[in-house]
Amino acid sequence: EAASRLLARAAVGEVDAVVLATATPDHLCPGTAPALAARLGLGTVPALDIAAVCSGFVYGLAVCHGLVASGLYERVLLVGADVYSTWLDPADRSAGVVFGDGAGAALVAAGRSGDPGELLAFDLGSDGTGYGLITVPGGGARARASERPPAPDDGFFRMQGGTVYQHAVERMTGSCRLLLGRVGWDPAEVDRFVPHQANARILHAVAERVGIAPQRCVTHLERVGNTGAASIPLALADAAGRGRLRSGDRVLLTAFGGGLTWGSAALRWPGTPGTICTDSMEGTQHVAPR
């Protein structure tokens, strides 16, 4: 639905490819992106899933950036969607009150350097030694190949909250600092800081350590919870709808998720949600969340 609304508002030409960031696909096999493309009436365009959990939207932006910068495609539809209610343990109140279901979409296309909407730089990382800190133990090939019989709760989401908090704050802070240095922004020059909407303590801790004032931090989780890969586009759309984003604003995105994965992106806000710049210039991409 989010992607359909975006496409209806954009009306700027055909979509050449689809990237879906989700940790809750319809099935273990096949990927969900081809089915999404078909439901959107996009025909036989290439479509792929990204399983970077809560970092999925930032990872997806980087993938779409690369697809356009390489000249392979002119316009790529990025969707971040997660349905956490399907894997939460009803007996686990610690997780059940934190997570929500949601979806958000963006169009990434070629444009002119310096125009609003320009994707400027990325920083991505992972640490597989923390693989088990955020997980759904059952259902995958490893569990199926194990001689141990599955436990009744293996299909539910599990997270080691205290340890994850420490990793999230450290990784997002480091990623933001590195990226700010790369694009030459002082923290005080960031107009809007949009972190993955994990929880308020993490958001405030990262903003404080990076040196970004609280009033510049965009939050949405108090109304919808942690919606995984959908949290950043939903927060952006909400902020735009409430007039907190202006064309050309310097925007810093950052996220942390299972894997462990993390990533940050710097961009200039494109203006009205649902519009994109389509003037062609290799290596320059523009994003229009909705």
Between 196 and 276, name the one with better pLDDT. 196
Residues 8, 58, 121, 233, CA torsion sign = positive
* Structural domain contains residue 183: yes
Kindly state whether residue 261 falls inside one of the protein's structural domains: yes
Number of domain units in the chain: 2
pLDDT for res 221:
82
Token pair belonging to 148: 């141990």
Co-location of 187 and 104 in the same domain: no
Mean pLDDT, to the nearest integer, of 253-282?
72
Positions marked catalytic: 54, 196, 226
Would 237 be classed as within a structural domain?
Answer: yes
58 and 150, same domain (yes or no) = no
Q: Are 107 and 75 in contact (CB under 8 A)?
A: yes
The whole domain housing 146 covers 119-271
What digits encode the pLDDT tens for the residues 48-99?
Answer: 999 999 999 999 999 999 999 999 999 999 999 999 888 888 877 766 568 8
Confidence of residue 153 (pLDDT cuts 50, 70, 90): confident
Dist. CA 253–CA 238, nearest whole Å: 15
Q: Is residue 143 part of a domain?
A: yes
**What's residue 138's pLDDT?**
78
pLDDT in tens, 208-242: 999 999 999 999 888 888 899 999 999 999 999 99
Q: HEC string of the chain?
A: CHHHHHHHHHCCCCCCEEEEECCCCCCCCCCCHHHHHHHCCCCCCCEEEECCHHHHHHHHHHHHHHHHHCCCCCEEEEEEEEEHHHCCCCCCHHHHCCECEEEEEEEEEECCCCCCCEEEEEEEEECHHHHHHEECCCCCHHHHHCCCCCCCCCCCCEECHHHHHHHHHHHHHHHHHHHHHHHCCCHHHCCEEEECCCCHHHHHHHHHHHCCCHHHECCCHHHHCECHHHHHHHHHHHHHHCCCCCCCCEEEEEEEECCCEEEEEEEECCCCCCCCCCCCCCCCEEEEEC
Same domain, 233 and 187: yes
* pTM of this structure: 0.88
Judgement on whether residues 99 and 129 belong to the same structural domain of the protein: no
pLDDT given at position 280: 25
Quick one: average pLDDT of 273-278?
37
Domain identity same for 145 and 55:
no
Is 246 part of a structural domain of the chain?
Answer: yes
215 or 4, higher pLDDT: 215
Pair (151, 211) in one structural domain: yes
Confidence of residue 290 (pLDDT cuts 50, 70, 90): very low
In a domain, 283, yes or no: no
- Each residue's pLDDT tens digit, 13-52: 589 999 999 999 999 899 999 999 999 999 999 999 999 9
Domain limit, last residue, from 84, 110, 136: 110
- Confidence class for position 283, pLDDT limits 50, 70, 90: very low
Residues in the chain: 290
110, 132, 157 - which closes a domain: 110
Same domain, 139 and 157: yes
Query: Other CB atoms closer than 10 Å to residue 131's CB: what's the count?
Result: 12
100-127 pLDDT, tens digit per residue, is 899 999 999 988 888 888 999 999 999 9
- Residue 277, domain member (yes or no): no
172 vs 199 pLDDT, higher one: 172
Tell me the per-residue pLDDT of 256-266, one tens digit each, with 9 for 90 and over: 999 999 999 99
Question: In this structure, are 95 and 231 located in the same domain?
Answer: no
Same domain, 35 and 67: yes
Is 155 part of any domain?
A: yes
Same domain, 126 and 84: no
- Which CATH number goes with the domain that contains 96? 3.40.47.10
Residues 38, 145, single domain; the answer is no
> Based on the domain organization, do 177 and 261 belong to the same domain?
yes
Query: Which has the closest alpha carbon to 243: 261, 211, 269, 265?
Result: 269
Cα–Cα distance list, 37 to 60, 146, 160 (Å): 16, 35, 35
User: What are the tokens at 33?
Assistant: 């992106």
Q: For residues 14 and 76, what is the distance between their CA atoms, to the nearest angstrom?
A: 9
pLDDT of residue 223: 85
